[in-house]
Amino acid sequence: MVEKRLNRRELEWVRKKVAREAARLLYEGVVDEYIDAKKLAARRLGVDILPSNREVAIELDRIGDELEGERKLERLKWLREEALKVMEALEDLDPRLIGSVWRGNIKRESDIDITVLGTTDPEEVIERLKEAGIEILDVDEVIITERGGKPLNIPEHYVNIKVRTPGGAKAEINVTVSSPELERKGRVTPGRCDFFGDRMKGLTVEELRRLLKEDPYRKFIPTE
């Protein structure tokens, strides 16, 4: 491991190197989780400096752009078109496109992520999807009882509905059954992004329709 004290310029250079290597490991599928990629990258480079998730995410997007070019853009457009087909089946339940297909920083194996804000009943969502002829692949329940090592006053209960879109893409639809936001406000709101730290605004059905007509390759990545 590097033992000498680094000045600010050297520290930034090392962080960028680790972020780039971590991004490469993620892109190539060597590891799946950001924390594992950062630790392995630092170990391979002989340093004990870990970049932020945001730094790795930006490098991951750059690698995809460099290696795939137009193919990545066309896949992004296709994934957004497929997301719209699923969201239209749930339009009055306020679905939002989130994740990498919203951001635009997709990887080769990226799935579509949709969160539903207008209902807390997963059965209602499943029924709408079936009526639209969308194939249900799996349904998982997730209960979170702590965050950051601290117990939550109200456990967060989610149901993830995995589907195959009409065009063959995989998508995961998240339904929040119970959360602190529901208890306080009476409706679900998107949380903060684990990678970029900002609020996950996402795209509504109408916003996604407009995006596909006007600027289907646009990215929603914060600059700071």
Which of 17-31, 94-108, 193-207 comes out lowest in average pLDDT?
193-207
Nearest to 99 by CA among 86, 80, 85, 117: 80
> pLDDT tier at 70 (50, 70, 90 boundaries)?
very high
Supply the pTM of this predicted model: 0.80
Residue 209 has pLDDT above 90, yes or no: yes
Helix (H) or strand (E) holding 40: helix 34-45
Helix (H) or strand (E) holding 135: strand 135-147
Nearest to 188 by CA among 118, 129, 124: 118
Give the up-direction half-sphere exposure of residue 59: CA atoms within 13 A in the CB hemisphere: 22
170-178, strands of its sheet edge to edge: 95-98, 112-116, 170-178, 150-164, 135-147
